[in-house]
Structure 1
């Protein structure tokens, strides 16, 4: 079923791009495109990179992005900044494409998974199975940070998962690569708005200190885990001398929010190439989502009418 949905999504994406590509690209004559991946396949990553190259985007580094945000330089060409969240082991498979097309990237890495090998949400299925009160990953995300940690700790010792995160040697290898920059993604990858003041202060300060000690470099950038943040996060970024921070908000009109709220468009690891490109250009939201919502609404109305008929 998921494979069928992916094919349908990709077909819709292809049609939308065919009809409206130029309209979607036009906005990037005035705005820098910032996209981020998690753990894409080499095929998906290469497909999106080739699309960007064919449409005259220049790949820029984190330092160039920082200059763009600080100086508000007038944009006279299409530019794209590419980043990755989490530091998945699978990112290592993308190095041939990164090197072939000379793509500068930033990888935002949380500290704890580098040590333990896995991300906390990988244990969610076991928590859901063991505890009746937890029915979804979302249940874990909305609870207090200490409560979520307690649930995770109860199942970690019972399950030996295959490493999915990069290890320290991988991290150091990536850091030494001339095209790769490392940024912070907190220490434990919590939901920051669910943290206490003390917990949150630790996430910002100790992630930076640890990465800097491991890599013998200054960590300048940050990406918010899960996209959540509030005024406390902004203050801690300043206190810990981060120079730039990235959100998960794709809206280009938020360009003026400041250097700690840089927009990014998410690339869906499980989605197809054309669906992701249409989302990246803002076309999916404009042309496909309204149809999807209308279809869901019509289907719901039909269901209600059927129930009314036999009630």
Structure 2
């Protein structure tokens, strides 16, 4: 009897690295479940009689379309958490930050106040035209009809929710749900916190709109976990590094290296 579920998530993994990880778990006897079955299992709190795994993708990036042949090949269900504004605009805010300031400035930009964040972002958007990185509305509609894909919510603009005022928090949670339900014709009941940033305020607000939500805490899901604080291993598609993460070794290595100043 199993009392935990392997919980993996990606953003835009390489197809090769993604497929190798899927094969790794299949060879070890895991069955992959979709988000509806996950909710059912966690709500019932009954131990599973088999080894289970759950896979999700954050943001709704166009590169995720490359993974369709893999999930079809192995009959693996996935959940894609979609931010809705980029479906129309074509891009995410970090596309502009990386274009102007480089990826090394990403974390610094995330820490800006709400007003400074959007003031600076607006100027960057005026100065730059960037090729589309997000799925389109039609692509999300197509994916939602795929029997192995579930579309769920990841806010409207992918803000750092802990930095936004209450009214913006509510609209980010509600409006993305409304838009995705209109596109897919399905109930949107699951959410993932952008950047894994949350306090009790964000969790309480999420409970008003959804049935479960996912963080970036790096561990297995355990029966009895808070449905609005579900953990996931953050993977990249770099197969060997990802293995170290799911084995629990990567975090230990980073801690040791920081102590020893490697």
The answer to whether TM tops 0.5 is: yes
For residues 144 and 32 of structure 2, the distance between their equivalents in structure 1, rounded to whole angstroms, comes to 19
| Gap change, CA 1:192 and 1:210, over 3 Å in 2 | same
* Cα offsets for 1:26-74 (capped at 9, x unmatched): xx94310110010011101111001011111110111111012111111
Count residues in correspondence. Answer: 261
1:149 aligns to what? 118
- Please tell me whether the aligned partners of residues 221 and 232 of structure 2 are also in contact (alpha carbons under 8 angstroms): no
| Gap change, CA 1:294 and 1:109, over 3 Å in 2 | same
Structure 2 unpaired stretches of 5+:
none
- 1:289 paired residue among 239, 250, 254: 254
| 1:59 correspondence with 2:35 | no
For residues 115 and 26 of structure 2, the distance between their equivalents in structure 1, rounded to whole angstroms, comes to 45
Q: CA deviation at 1:283?
A: 2.6
Q: CA deviation at 1:292?
A: 2.3
* Cα offsets for 1:192-237 (capped at 9, x unmatched): 0000011111101111111111222210110000001122222222
| 1:266 correspondence with 2:239 | no
For residues 148 and 221 of structure 2, the distance between their equivalents in structure 1, rounded to whole angstroms, comes to 29
After superposition, the CA RMSD in angstroms is 1.9
- Please tell me whether the aligned partners of residues 114 and 166 of structure 1 are also in contact (alpha carbons under 8 angstroms): yes
For residues 253 and 52 of structure 1, the distance between their equivalents in structure 2, rounded to whole angstroms, comes to 16
Q: Secondary structure at the match of 2:8?
A: strand
Q: CA deviation at 1:103?
A: 0.5
For residues 200 and 95 of structure 2, the distance between their equivalents in structure 1, rounded to whole angstroms, comes to 29
For residues 168 and 180 of structure 1, the distance between their equivalents in structure 2, rounded to whole angstroms, comes to 15
- 2:244 paired residue among 245, 270, 278: 278
2:143 aligns to what? 174
- 1:204 paired residue among 163, 173, 198: 173
- 1:162 paired residue among 131, 138, 163: 131
1:93 aligns to what? 66
| Gap change, CA 1:252 and 1:178, over 3 Å in 2 | closer
- Please tell me whether the aligned partners of residues 81 and 151 of structure 2 are also in contact (alpha carbons under 8 angstroms): yes
Deviation beyond 6 Å, 4+ runs, structure 1:
none
- Please tell me whether the aligned partners of residues 152 and 189 of structure 2 are also in contact (alpha carbons under 8 angstroms): yes
* Cα offsets for 1:279-306 (capped at 9, x unmatched): 11213334x335423541xx6xxxxxxx
- Please tell me whether the aligned partners of residues 29 and 51 of structure 2 are also in contact (alpha carbons under 8 angstroms): yes
1:36 aligns to what? 9
- Please tell me whether the aligned partners of residues 4 and 222 of structure 2 are also in contact (alpha carbons under 8 angstroms): no
- 1:120 paired residue among 85, 93, 106: 93
- Please tell me whether the aligned partners of residues 30 and 76 of structure 1 are also in contact (alpha carbons under 8 angstroms): no
1:225 aligns to what? 194
- Please tell me whether the aligned partners of residues 279 and 285 of structure 1 are also in contact (alpha carbons under 8 angstroms): yes
For residues 132 and 78 of structure 2, the distance between their equivalents in structure 1, rounded to whole angstroms, comes to 23
Q: CA deviation at 1:169?
A: 1.0
TM-score by length of 2: 0.93
For residues 150 and 241 of structure 2, the distance between their equivalents in structure 1, rounded to whole angstroms, comes to 28
After TM superposition, the structure 1 = structure 2 runs for residues 40-51 of structure 1, keeping only pairs within 5 Å, are 40-51=13-24
Q: CA deviation at 1:172?
A: 0.6
| Gap change, CA 1:40 and 1:172, over 3 Å in 2 | same
2:83 aligns to what? 110
